[in-house]
Structure 1
Amino acid sequence: MTKWKYLLLWAVCAVFSPTSVAVERIITLSPHLTEWIYSLGLEDKLVGVSAFSDYPAEASEKPVVADYQGVDFTALMALEPDLVLAWGGGNKPQDITRLKSLGIPVFISQPDTLDAIASEILEVARLAGADEQSQTLVHQYRTQLAKIQQQYQHKPVVKVFYYMWSQPLMTIGKAAWANKFLTTCGAQSIFNDSPIDYPQVSVKQVLLRQPQLLVAASDQSMQTLENFWAPHRPVIQAPLIQANVNALHRFTLRIADAIETLCHDIDSYRQQEQK
């Protein structure tokens, strides 16, 4: 497909409804965007994905056209996409600019709130002609989040140490993504005063702040996670719980279930403290 055909397609899409021009070949440049396409039932139109597009499992069988080094434009163009979904927070700005210069219709995803996930999925569905599927999915997602928020909004705040890695020990500041769902659960990071979103801290700093709860956003085994804190247990008594990092830090509909589980685990701590 030539550059001029891409430009014509984009112009038509801007004027007419998505059903006027059928999108048949979609490429996603982030794992969360790949998952959106499967959620919308459009996987048959998905011709290329980014590295680490591993959910659902069959997504890993799709041709990979991008990774941390950037977009493989030769591979991407060979697949002749008529819609590319890019991640504003993950793909290189120069790659997105180049895609636009080629005349390829590009949707840029950059959700900064939990509800923005829903809004962006609706927009992708509109572009790809999957409005009916998206309305049901988004309604269920928003209803679930509203129920969780209502359940925990008046609970006592729990001070937590939320971390993604232990070497180096990396946590979250006030503006970090994880605070979107910790706030929903009635929890607060002990490093909310950090001037950066993802500060590296020492164990000593954690011990000095004495969190009520340790939250490991990790797919390591609980035994491995416990072993890290074992030498410090004479000084810190905070229980350790595990958060589903793959769901919580990937902007997809699965985040609602992961938040519900995390909130339940945090609330279990509250109930234990009240006894």
Structure 2
Amino acid sequence: MRLLSAVLFAVWLLAVSHAVAAQRIVTLAPHLTEWAYSLDMGDTLVGVSAYSDYPEAAKALPQVADYNGVNFRALMALSPDLVLAWEGGNKPQDISRLKQLGFSVFLSSVRTPDDIADELEALGQLVNKERRAALLASEFREQLADLREKYHRATTTPVFYYSWTSPLMTVGKDAWANQLLAVCGARTIFTDAPNDYPQVSIQEVLRRQPALLIAATRSSAQQASVFWEPHRNILDAPLITVDPDVTSRFTLRLLPALSRLCGSVSSIRQSQTASGKH
């Protein structure tokens, strides 16, 4: 019994020793900025990345990173005791340099929607916010599971999801957006693409005849539809939009937006089925 108690104490001591009583945090990606606020740690943020625009308070913080990379002079001047970095978003050489300089680095590497909950919990454990993180993660997992159950279909709806028109850019099988579509019982029409974000021709889109067009844009659906007007005699698929600032970020705000997307896909699918189009 004493041995068991000693082992448990050693495990607890090891966990505590790895926790960080962070007082000065820098985030190098917008989703990590939101995570800090979600964990009620906004008052510890001293620097953020470009496009950290949610919540509103984040806009007032100094920016230490953008698409060019990390501004090390600016970051070091802030003397952070914890840096939240994004593997896949931040340059590998910048992450390596942070570690070489002796900074404590939390590395986010979200690949699937489920990873959001897992990584938020991991961050919570690191910064002594276990309870808050566990609650948020549990709620996220439950709501995500509900969406999957509600919108699962044996036959998925073929969708053309795009973020740019010049050039025309879409998503492949393993892209983040296609994982969101999968929750909604839909799929990209370019599952055979050689990479996750291929450039395609409008002729190929017309040939594949998607049941739905989804534009990731801050423009209105009416504005986005202008691009397709010359081709409406060939493709009469309806068009909807999603806000890329929400759907492309790995944050808790994703689920309400995903719920709306799934609802739209489901409504259009039912309408098309009733009319005999698909």
TM value normalised by structure 2: 0.91
SS of 2:240's partner is strand
Percent of aligned pairs with the same amino acid: 52
Higher relative contact order (CA 8 A, sep 6+): 1
Superposed CA offset, 1:197-230 (max 9, x none): 1111111111111111111111112221011111
> How many angstroms apart in 1 are the aligned matches of 2:14 and 2:91?
29
> How many angstroms apart in 2 are the aligned matches of 1:221 and 1:270?
21
Q: 1:64: Cα distance to partner?
A: 0.6
SS of 1:161's partner is strand
Residues 1:111 and 2:116 aligned together: no
Query: Does the C-alpha gap of structure 1 residues 79 and 204 become closer, same or farther in structure 2, counting only changes over 3 Å?
Result: same
List 4+ stretches of structure 1 deviating above 2 A: 18-21
> How many angstroms apart in 2 are the aligned matches of 1:180 and 1:166?
22
> How many angstroms apart in 1 are the aligned matches of 2:21 and 2:209?
56
Residues 1:135 and 2:112 aligned together: no
Q: 1:19: Cα distance to partner?
A: 9.2
Q: 1:270: Cα distance to partner?
A: 1.4
SS of 1:17's partner is helix
Superposed CA offset, 1:168-190 (max 9, x none): 11001111111111111110111
Q: 1:122: Cα distance to partner?
A: 0.7
Equivalent position of 1:6 in the other structure: none
- Contact between 2:47 and 2:64, CA under 8 Å: does it hold in 1? yes
Superposed CA offset, 1:6-56 (max 9, x none): xxxxxxxx9351797521111000001001001111000001000110111
Equivalent position of 1:39 in the other structure: 38
Q: How does 1:99-248 map to 2 (within 5 A)?
A: 99-154=98-153, 156-248=155-247
Query: Does the C-alpha gap of structure 1 residues 18 and 182 become closer, same or farther in structure 2, counting only changes over 3 Å?
Result: farther
Superposed CA offset, 1:127-159 (max 9, x none): 111112111111111110000000011364111
Letter in 2 for 1:266: V
- Contact between 1:162 and 1:189, CA under 8 Å: does it hold in 2? yes
- Quick check: 131-140 or 82-91, which moved more? 131-140
Q: 1:271: Cα distance to partner?
A: 1.4
SS of 2:106's partner is strand
SS of 2:16's partner is coil
Which residues of structure 2 form unaligned runs of 5+?
Answer: 1-12
Which residues of structure 1 form unaligned runs of 5+?
Answer: 1-13
Equivalent position of 1:15 in the other structure: 14
- Contact between 1:159 and 1:212, CA under 8 Å: does it hold in 2? yes
Residues 1:93 and 2:101 aligned together: no
Residues 1:76 and 2:75 aligned together: yes
> How many angstroms apart in 2 are the aligned matches of 1:88 and 1:104?
16
- Contact between 1:18 and 1:129, CA under 8 Å: does it hold in 2? no
How many residues matched?
Answer: 263
> How many angstroms apart in 2 are the aligned matches of 1:183 and 1:199?
19
